[in-house]
Amino acid sequence: MKGFRTMLSDVGLLYAAAIWGATFFMVKNVLHHVTPLGLLGYRFLIAAVIMLILLLLLKRNPFTDWKQGLILGFFLWTIYVPQTIGLKFTTASNSGFITGLFIVFVPLFAFVFMKKLPSPMKLISIALAVSGLFVLTGGLHDANFGDFLTLFAAMGYAIHILIADRFMKNGADPFILNFQQMLVVGLLSIAVGLSSSTSLSCDCRAALGVIVFLAVFPTVSAFIIQLVAQRNTSPVKVAIIFSMEPVFAALFAWTYGNELIVPHRALGGLLIVAAMVLSELPIGQRERGEIHAETAPH
């Protein structure tokens, strides 16, 4: 039964990676009609409203344990905003490669803060995934300020995965937690936009349908699945599966965006897929120095 739950969790995480990768071109296109902070604010507030309705139907109190929601929401916000601003200064390939480095930061931060060392097979899988990411995106070229912002986002991504793991292993309600983090991201984005010279303008006639779609699928559904799945799997494994996101982005760009899949990008994608498959092998999978979330100090 435990193996079946783990398999379902892996499938759910793969769905999240797929929907995030598949909607990359939608986000890129809709930014012609709405500002970045406006998109984040409207998208996540709509998602929060959807989650609130769902919680009321389930007769759950959405306003319990706000501390967890505030923490998780803040780190989710630190993923999206620096990455979005960073794209103004750096290239898409640099952004894709640097963001993908969260797969390195997850085990690094897990070891530093939780004294948890991944198994040798997981470490090999991480190295293979980073190699694939380098080949797929072309690596890093002409580093600049935008790259440092994106690196900050990658660190936030890793911390978000680790904190979500801690909260879920300690019995947090994934629906309540998801509502709270959606609300925090939406309100922070709107607040920063209103308190600065950044515009929140939106051509709603052209953008509203896409914003609602982004709120429902890559936001509500993907993040709730991530939280539920993290009850049954390790944060390192989550990171390895999430490294599939640029592979799905490349596949959908090829299918719907009429972009060419050149040999080196195909090779990079295959290396990432191989890393995910390798991480599933039962050889040497025992993690050393592990502090289980259930017994770890708060």
Whole-number pLDDT of residue 219: 97
* pLDDT digit string (tens) for the chain, length 298 residues: 678 888 999 999 999 999 998 887 788 788 889 988 999 999 999 999 999 999 999 999 999 989 999 999 999 999 999 987 887 788 777 888 888 999 999 999 999 998 888 888 899 999 999 999 999 888 877 788 989 999 999 999 999 999 999 999 999 999 999 999 999 999 999 999 999 877 888 998 999 999 999 999 999 999 999 999 999 999 999 999 999 998 888 888 777 766 677 888 889 999 999 999 888 776 655 555 543 333 233 3
The sign of the dihedral angle between the CA atoms of 12, 110, 277, 245 is positive
In angstroms, what CA-CA distances link 266 with 21, 186, 188, 253, 263?
Answer: 15, 36, 38, 13, 5
Residues ≥6 apart with Cβ < 8 Å to 250: 21, 136, 259, 261, 265, 269
CA–CA separation, 141 and 48 (whole Å):
38
Per-residue confidence (pLDDT) for residue 1, from 0 to 100: 65
Q: What is the CA radius of gyration of the chain?
A: 19
pLDDT at 257 (0 to 100) = 65
Mapping DSSP onto H, E and C, the string for the chain reads CHHHHHHHHHHHHHHHHHHHHHCHHHHHHHCCCECHHHHHHHHHHHHHHHHHHHHHHCCCCCCCCHHHHHHHHHHHHHHHHHHHHHCCCCCHHHHHHHHCCHHHHHHHHHHHHHCCECCHHHHHHHHHHHHHHHHHHCCCCCCCHHHHHHHHHHHHHHHHHHHHHHHHHCCCCHHHHHHHHHHHHHHHHHHHHHHCCCCCCECHHHHHHHHHHHHHHHHHHHHHHHHHHCCCCCHHHHHHHHCCHHHHHHHHHHHHCCCCCCHHHHHHHHHHHHHHHHHHCCCCCCCECCCCCCCCCC
Q: What's the Cα-to-Cα distance from 80 to each of 76, 114, 155, 156, 199, rounded to whole Å?
A: 7, 25, 12, 9, 17
CA dist 237 and 118 (Å) reads: 9
pTM score, whole prediction: 0.88
* Cα dihedral 183, 186, 191, 192 sign: positive
- What residue type is 110 in one-letter code? A
What pLDDT does residue 27 have?
84
For residues 259 and 270, what is the distance between their CA atoms, to the nearest angstrom?
A: 18
Q: Compute the distance between CA of residue 138 and CA of residue 161 in angstroms, rounded to an integer.
A: 26
Q: What is the pLDDT of residue 22?
A: 86
Quick count: other Cβ atoms within 10 Å of Cβ 254?
Answer: 14
Q: How many CB atoms are closer than 10 A to CB 67?
A: 9
Q: Is residue 41 within 8 Å of 190, Cβ to Cβ? A: yes
Residue with the two structure tokens 């198994």: 119
pLDDT of residue 103: 95
Q: What are the backbone angles phi and psi of residue 274, rounded to the nearest 5°?
A: -60, -40
Amino acid present at 176: I
**Predicted local confidence at residue 166, as pLDDT:** 96
